Chain A
Amino acid sequence: MNTSAVLANVERANQWRARSKVRAYGALTWAAFSITAITFLAVAATVISIAQFMIQEGWSTGPVWIAGLVPVALSFLVVAGAAKAARFSSKARSSAEVYEARALGAKAAEASWKTISYSVAFLILCALAWFMVVNDAAVSRTFFDMDLIVRSAVTVIKAFGTNVLIFAVSAVLILVWALVIAIARTLPGEAGRPIRTIAIIYSDLFRGLPAIITIYLIGFGLPLTNLPILKDLSSNAYAIIALTLTYGAYTSEVYRAGIESVHPSQIAAARSLGLSYFRTMRYVIVPQAVRGIIPPLMNNCISLQKDTALVAIIGTIDAFNQSKIIASNNFNLSAVTTVAIIFILITIPQARFVDKLIERDRSKRRSG
Chain B
Amino acid sequence: MALVEIDKAYKHYGSVSVLNGLSLNIEEHQVVCLIGPSGCGKSTLLRCINRLETIQKGEIRLHGDRITGPGVDLDVLRREIGIVFQGYNLFPHMSVIENITLGPLKVLGMDRSEARDKGMALLSRIGLAHKADEFPDRLSGGQQQRVAIVRALMMDPALLLLDEITSALDPELVSEVLDIVRDLAAKGMTMVLATHEMGFAREVADKVCFLQEGVVYEEGPPSQIFGNPQGERTKAFLKRIIDAGRL
Please list the residues of chain A having a beta carbon within 8 angstroms of any beta carbon in chain B.
265-266, 268-276, 279, 283-284, 287-288, 291, 368
Q: Is the CB of A271 within 8 A of B78?
A: yes
Q: How far is the CA of A272 from the CA of B103 in the complex (A)?
A: 9
Beyond contacts A283-B102, A284-B91: 17 other A-B pairs, Cβ-Cβ < 8 A, are A265-B89, A266-B91, A268-B47, A269-B89, A269-B91, A272-B50, A273-B78, A273-B152, A273-B155, A274-B76, A274-B107, A275-B75, A275-B103, A279-B106, A284-B102, A288-B91, A291-B93
Q: Is the CB of A274 within 8 A of B85?
A: no
Q: Is the CB of A273 within 8 A of B102?
A: yes
B interface residues, tally (CB under 8 Å): 25
Q: Is the CB of B76 within 8 A of A268?
A: no
Which residues from 71 to 120 on chain B have a C-beta closer than 8 Å to any C-beta of chain A?
A: 74-76, 78-79, 82-83, 85, 87, 89-93, 102-103, 106-107
What is the total of A-B residue contacts with beta carbons within 8 Å? 57
Give the distance to chain A from B195, nearest Cβ to Cβ, in Å. 19
Q: Which of A265, A268, A274 contacts B75 (CB 8 A)?
A: A274
Q: Is the CB of B85 within 8 A of A276?
A: no
Residues of chain A contacted by B47 (CB below 8 angstroms) = 268
Q: Which of A268, A274, A287 contacts B103 (CB 8 A)?
A: A274
Q: Can you list 26 contacts pairing A with B, beta carbon distance less than 8 Å? A: A265-B85, A265-B89, A266-B89, A268-B47, A269-B90, A270-B102, A271-B74, A272-B52, A272-B78, A272-B82, A273-B102, A273-B103, A273-B151, A273-B152, A273-B155, A274-B76, A274-B79, A274-B155, A275-B102, A275-B103, A275-B107, A284-B91, A284-B102, A287-B93, A288-B92, A288-B93
Closest 9 pairs between A and B when the two form their complex, measured CB to CB: A269-B89, A273-B103, A274-B107, A274-B78, A274-B79, A274-B75, A265-B89, A272-B83, A287-B93
Which residues from 213 to 237 on chain B have a C-beta closer than 8 Å to any C-beta of chain A?
A: none
Residues of chain B contacted by A291 (CB below 8 angstroms) = 93
Q: How far is the CA of A291 from the CA of B47 in the complex (A)?
A: 29
Q: How far is the CA of A274 from the CA of B91 in the complex (A)?
A: 15
Q: How far is the CA of A283 from the CA of B75 in the complex (A)?
A: 15
Give the distance to chain A from B16, nearest Cβ to Cβ, in Å. 19
Q: Is the CB of A276 within 8 A of B87?
A: no
Q: How far is the CA of A271 from the CA of B50 in the complex (A)?
A: 10
Q: How far is the CA of A317 from the CA of B163 in the complex (A)?
A: 64
Q: How far is the CA of A162 from the CA of B30 in the complex (A)?
A: 71
Q: How far is the CA of A87 from the CA of B83 in the complex (A)?
A: 72
Residues of chain B contacted by A274 (CB below 8 angstroms) = 75-76, 78-79, 103, 107, 155
Q: Is the CB of B107 within 8 A of A273?
A: yes
CB-based nearest A residue for B47? A268
Residues of chain A contacted by B52 (CB below 8 angstroms) = 268, 271-272
Q: Is the CB of A276 within 8 A of B75?
A: yes
Give the distance to chain A from B101, nearest Cβ to Cβ, in Å. 11
Residues of chain B contacted by A276 (CB below 8 angstroms) = 75
- Scan B29-50; emit 1 where CB is below 8 A from any A CB, else 0: 0000000000000000001001
Residues of chain A contacted by B93 (CB below 8 angstroms) = 287-288, 291
Give the distance to chain A from B148, nearest Cβ to Cβ, in Å. 8
CB-based nearest B residue for A291? B93
Give the distance to chain B from A284, nearest Cβ to Cβ, in Å. 6
Give the distance to chain B from A294, nearest Cβ to Cβ, in Å. 13
Residues of chain B contacted by A273 (CB below 8 angstroms) = 78, 102-103, 107, 151-152, 155
CB-based nearest A residue for B80? A274
Residues of chain A contacted by B92 (CB below 8 angstroms) = 288
Residues of chain A contacted by B83 (CB below 8 angstroms) = 272
Residues of chain A contacted by B50 (CB below 8 angstroms) = 272
